[in-house]
Amino acid sequence: MVQNTDNAQPNSDYSTWAMVRRLARAYLRPYAGRLVVAFIFMFVASAMTATFAKLIEPVLDEVLVNRKAHLIVPMAAAVFIVFVVNGVSTYIHTVIMNIIGQSIVADVQRDLFARFMGLDLKFFHDNPSGQLVARMISDVNVMRTAVSDSLTGLGKSFLTLILLLALMFWQDWALALIAVCAFPPAAIFVASLGRRLRKVSGGIQTEIADLSDLMSQTFQGIRQVKAYGMEDYECQRAGQAIDRVKMLFFKGFKIGNLSTPVNESLIGLALMGVIMYGGYKVSDGTLTAGSLMSFIAAFSLAYEPLRRLAKLNNNLQTGLGAAERVFDMMDRQAEIQDKPDAIELSVQKPEIVFENVSFRYGFDEGHALHDVSFTLPSGKVTALVGPSGSGKTTAMNLVPRFYDVVEGRVLVDGQDLRDVGFESLRRNIALVSQDITIFDDSARANIAYGKQGASDGEIEAAAKAAAADEFIRALPEGYDTKLGEHGVKLSGGQRQRIAIARAMLRDAPVLLLDEATSALDNESERAIQASLEKLQKGRTTLVIAHRLSTVQNADQIIVLDKGEVVERGTHKEMIVKDGLYARMHNAGLNG
C-alpha cells in the first residue's frame, strides 16, 4: 500500500550543532588520522605567531633600546626562522584540511546521488530534475566552500587566538582583561548575524534551484520556444529569477559584512584602553616599552584570527543553509521499499495476475484504477487499450512496482509483488516506453544499458533485430557515435529503435511495451513489427498501443475505461460485440 508522504519527509533536527555533529560523525571520522596531523601543524603555525609577538619585546628592549649589537643577528635569524616555520606549517595543514574538506563534500555528493537513485518514481514526479541537479551541484558546492574554508580556518584561527590570549595574560593580566572585554559582545553579535545569514543562504539556494529548473525546462523545450516565438518571454522569466537571486546575494553580503564596523569599533575601544593603561605603566616604569609593544602586537595578532572567525562563521552558516537543503533530501525515504524478508524472484514464463486492484496517485485524488482484475497468461501477449486517462499506463507501472497498489494485489506466479525484491523483479522485466530515454553517450553504450557486460556481438545482434544496425553504422563513428542529449542527433523512429534494441538485449521473461512504435512512421512500423513479434514469443508481454492495428494479433485484449475493465477478449470477439473497442477501432482512435 502507498505510504503516507509524511514518512518520506522526516522531521529532522537541522540546528547548527546537530548538522555539525552529523557531518563530523558520518563524514569526518574516516579522515581522523589526517585531521590529527593537520592539527599538529596548525598548532605549530599558531605557536609561531605567538612566538613572533613575544620576540618583539627583546628586539625592541635589548636590540633597539639597550643597543646590544651582538643580539642583532640572533634576533633577526629567530624572526626569519619563525616566519619560515609558520609558512611551511600553514601550507601543510591548509593542503591537508582542503583535501579533507573536498573529500567530505564528495562523499556527501555520492551519498546524495545514491539516495536519489534509491527513491521511487513519485519522488521524481514531485521534484523537477532542475531542482535535484541544483541540490547536487549548487547546494553541495556551497557546502564544499564552507566546509573546506571552515575546517582549514576554524582550527588555525582558534588555536592562534588561544595561544595569543595566553601570552597576553602571561605578560600582564590586567592589560589582558581590558583587551578581551571587546570579545564577548563581538561574539554575540557575530552569532546573531550567523543565524540571519543562514536563513538568507537557504533562500538563495532555493532561488538558484528554481532558476536551474527554469533553464532546464527552457533548454529542453527550445523547439517549442522558438516555434511559438517565446524567446522574449523566456528571457523575461529568466531575468526575473536572476534578479531574485541577485537581491538575495545583496542581502546576504550586507548582513555578512555588518560585523566589520561593529567589531572594528569594539576592538578600537579595547585598544584605546590598552594604550591608556599601558602608557601610564610605561611612564611610571612598571612596564617596559618593549613589553607594551609586544602586548599590543599580540593583541593585534589576536584580533586577526577573531576577525577571521567572524568571517568563517558567516561562511559556515551559509554552508549550513545549503547543507540543510541537502540533508532534507538525504533524509527522504522511499515510499515503496523492499520488505526485510523480500524473496528472490526467478521465473521463466511468469503468469501475472491483477486481483481486485485499486490505485490512486494521491489520497485527495480519485481512483486511477478501481477494482481491476485480469490475468497476463504465461508466455502470451496481453494488450491494454482504452481512451486517454483510462488507466492503461497506471496498470503497466504497477508491474515493475514503480507504484504499489492501494487495494488488492498484483501476483507473479502466485507471489505478491510486494513480497519480491526490487532487484530480482526488475531484472526479469524489459521496458520500452513512449517516453524514450537516450543518454548523451555512444550508440553502443545506449543499447548496452539493457545488459551490463554485454559483448559487442550481442549489442550488434540486438541492433539488427530492432532494425537499428543500418542507421547506426551510417553515423559518423558508427556504434561509437555519441547520440547527444535525449538523442537529438537521431530521428524519433531511430530513438525508438535504440530503445527496442536495448529491450531485446535484456532478454527478460516479462516484456512491457508502452506504445513502443508510437514514434515510427508506417513504413518503419511495418519493418520493426516483425522484430517485436519475434521478441514477444515465449515472453509474458503487456502492450499498450496507440494504433489498434498493432495489437490485433494479441492473445487477449483488455479494454479499460475510467479505471475499470469494461471489455476483454480477442480482436475478432470484441469486433463482433460492437462495444467500446469496436467503436474505437472503427474510428481509428485509442487515446
pLDDT at 170: 79
Kindly tell me if the per-residue pLDDT of 257 is higher than 70. no
Average pLDDT, the chain: 79
The string of pLDDT tens digits covering residues 465-518 is: 888 888 899 988 999 988 877 777 788 778 888 888 888 888 889 999 887 666
Give mean pLDDT, residues 140-162: 72
CA distances from 79 to 114, 196, 292 (A): 52, 42, 19
The string of pLDDT tens digits covering residues 313-323 is: 767 777 777 78
The radius of gyration of the chain from alpha carbons, rounded to an integer in Å, stands at 35
The string of pLDDT tens digits covering residues 454-479 is: 899 999 998 888 888 888 999 889 99
Number of neighbouring beta carbons within 10 Å of residue 34: 14
pLDDT band at 151 (very low <50, low <70, confident <90, very high): low
The string of pLDDT tens digits covering residues 182-234 is: 667 766 766 677 667 767 777 777 777 777 777 777 776 676 777 667 788 88
- Which H or E element spans position 544? strand 540-544
- Report the predicted TM-score, pTM, of the whole model to 2 decimal places: 0.74
Of the ranges 142-156, 183-197, 251-265, 432-446, which is most confident? 432-446
Q: Which phi-psi region, left, alpha or beta, contains residue 401 (left: φ > 0; alpha: ψ -120 to 50)? A: left
The rounded distance, in Å, linking the Cα atoms of 390 and 560 is 6
The rounded distance, in Å, linking the Cα atoms of 273 and 265 is 13
The string of pLDDT tens digits covering residues 385-406 is: 988 888 888 999 999 998 888 8
Query: Which DSSP string corresponds to 71-137?
Result: GHHHHHHHHHHHHHHHHHHHHHHHHHHHHHHHHHHHHHHHHHHHHHHHS-HHHHHHS-HHHHHHIII
For CA atoms 276, 279, 281, 287, give the dihedral sign: positive
| Beta bridge pairs of residue 383 | 543, 557
Kindly tell me if the per-residue pLDDT of 5 is higher than 60. no
The string of pLDDT tens digits covering residues 42-90 is: 888 888 877 877 777 777 767 666 677 777 788 788 888 888 998 898 8
Chain CA centroid to CA 84, Å: 42
Decide: 548 and 591 in contact? Cβ < 8 Å: no
**What are the chain's domains?**
5-330 (1.20.1560.10), 347-428+512-517+539-591 (3.40.50.300)
Q: Is 47 exposed, middle or buried (0-12, 13-18, 19+ CB in 10 A)?
A: middle
pLDDT at 68: 73
